[in-house]
Amino acid sequence: MKPRIAVITFPGSNDDRDALRAVRLLGGEPVPVWHADRDLHGADGVILPGGFSYGDYLRTGAIARFAPAVKAVTRYVEAGRPVLGVCNGFQILCEAGLLPGALIRNAGLSFVCRWVNVRTEARPEGWPGWEAGRVLQIPVKHGEGQWVGSPEDVARVEERGQVALRYCSPDGLEDEAFTPNGSTHNIAGLRNERGNVLGLMPHPEHAVDPDLGPTGGIAVFAWLFAMCGAEVSA
């Protein structure tokens, strides 16, 4: 099966074409969707890509959450369909209430652009296409990637196994020294309670081609494809 993966473009998106390319490279059928579209064109899965939607005015993702396409994504999530939010896409998912907490300015108040290591975290009942305990090398590039939440939010995501990725050392050691943005509990990615939404700050679409560098991002796309009933071809 070749899964149809929709990639939504907002004014200010700059990683949408990379996401479309990654889907194609891994054996899927990329489906471009404009932010003003009111449906997702029969897609099996959806990606909210990175960038600076609407110039990051107000807060990152705060305006994009009202886009017609995001309203369609909300209905899609409620129907149990898979959604992946990358960087700005993660921020939009939090603003839309589809993931808990918020992404705020990096603790160092500077834009971070470099390769990092993240460790995949287990979900209590397992997760299709997800191998826990792996260390993935994936790049980040953001100025507002520090995940924060209320004490109740933090306790809930930990207790319910919603943490999908944590920043770590190359050998999997979890420590604040390896977290580029000061994110609470070194959280790099979260899933919703139902398990059909994944948001992360690192950019897996930039880590799928062995000709260009590390390929840690394939593991993230493997989850998305598995949720669509397919496998990546890489």
Positions marked active-site: 87, 203, 205
Task: Report the alpha-carbon distance of residue 8 to residue 73 in Å, rounded.
Answer: 10
**Dihedral (CA of 77, 226, 190, 122) sign:** positive
CA distance 98 to 81: 13
What sections of 15-113 are H helices per DSSP? 16-25, 68-78, 88-95
Helix (H), strand (E) at residue 220: helix 218-227
Q: Are 69 and 44 in contact (CB under 8 A)?
A: no
Element (H, E) at 152: helix 151-159
Planar angle of CA 219, 225, 228, nearest 5 degrees:
150
